[in-house]
Amino acid sequence: MDPAAYEVVHDLEESHWFFVAKRRILSRLLDEMLDGARNPRILDVGCGSGATMGFLERYGEVTGVDISPQAVKYGREQGRARLCLADGGHLPFAEGSFDLVTALDLLEHVAQEVMGQREMWRVLEHEGRLVVVVPAFAFLWSDFDKFSGRHRWYAQAQLRRRAVGAGSEVARLCCFDTLLFPVVWGVRAVKNPMGRWVSLRSDLETPTRGLNTALAAIFSLERGLFAWRDLRFGVSLLCMARKRCSQRGVDET
């Protein structure tokens, strides 16, 4: 990931509509998944500048891992003590060290993706939970994907094979960021031919205050939709799974 991208995300992660609404949605889903579990041990792989760690701390003791010294520095400046500078493909923890592992917009950045998945399952306790968020749909690829060092996007079937191949029970596999999908698609369709990524400007430029609040509110409505049904299209894919047996290996196809 380009160091400039970490700076962009660090500056916007607390207030930008996308991050605000994503945390609201994940909060509802984690409330359901953890169902009152007492102080679970949580690992946030690819923790970035630490904002997600702050959100996860309401559920239990959180440890963050990131490969970037810059990201770890930002996190420590925010008062996050349990931070580790490490490669997600070689996690410095014993087997079964955590009850919940999150990888939120991480796997698409990892060149050795299979190693990263194996490591997350290794450090996860039997019956532990995994939450993964990845980008969906190749036609949504944008300047910011290039800028932020993403290697790939995912289809639902591909993500399911990864989880099942690691010895898990998939509890939920669906899209999100659905309500604003037409907006994102339209904006990227205009920006992509312009090649704006060369100037290192991102899709995460904050809109005016009123528009930022409105977009966060619209995106957040998906919390209610998830209670009704899984969403079949969207900007991102979400996988929530439970570790059911010893690791059998990750499907590399």
Q: What is residue 233's predicted lDDT score, i.e. its pLDDT?
A: 86
Strand order in the sheet with 168-176: 83-85, 61-66, 41-45, 98-104, 124-135, 236-243, 168-176
pLDDT in tens, 152-189: 788 888 888 877 666 678 999 999 889 988 887 777 66
How much is the average pLDDT of 48-72? 90
- Does residue 253 lie within any of the structural domains? no
- What are phi and psi for residue 89, nearest 5 degrees? -85, -5
Q: What is residue 199's predicted lDDT score, i.e. its pLDDT?
A: 47
Distance CA 73, CA 38 (A): 30
- Does residue 11 lie within any of the structural domains? yes
- Does residue 248 lie within any of the structural domains? no
CATH of the domain at 159: 3.40.50.150
**Total number of domains in the chain:** 1
- Does residue 250 lie within any of the structural domains? no
Choose from 13-17, 46-50, 90-94 the range with maximum mean pLDDT. Answer: 90-94
- Does residue 172 lie within any of the structural domains? yes
Higher-confidence position of 115 and 17: 17
- Does residue 252 lie within any of the structural domains? no
Record the tokens describing residue 39, joined without a space.
Answer: 């102080």
Distance CA 244, CA 196 (A): 45
Q: Residue 247 above 80 pLDDT?
A: no
- Does residue 251 lie within any of the structural domains? no
Helix (H, G, I), strand (E, B) or coil at 61: strand
The DSSP call for residue 154 is: B
How much is the average pLDDT of 38-63? 91
Distance CA 152, CA 107 (A): 9
Distance CA 189, CA 175 (A): 20
Q: Which domain holds residue 178?
A: 3-243
- Does residue 145 lie within any of the structural domains? yes
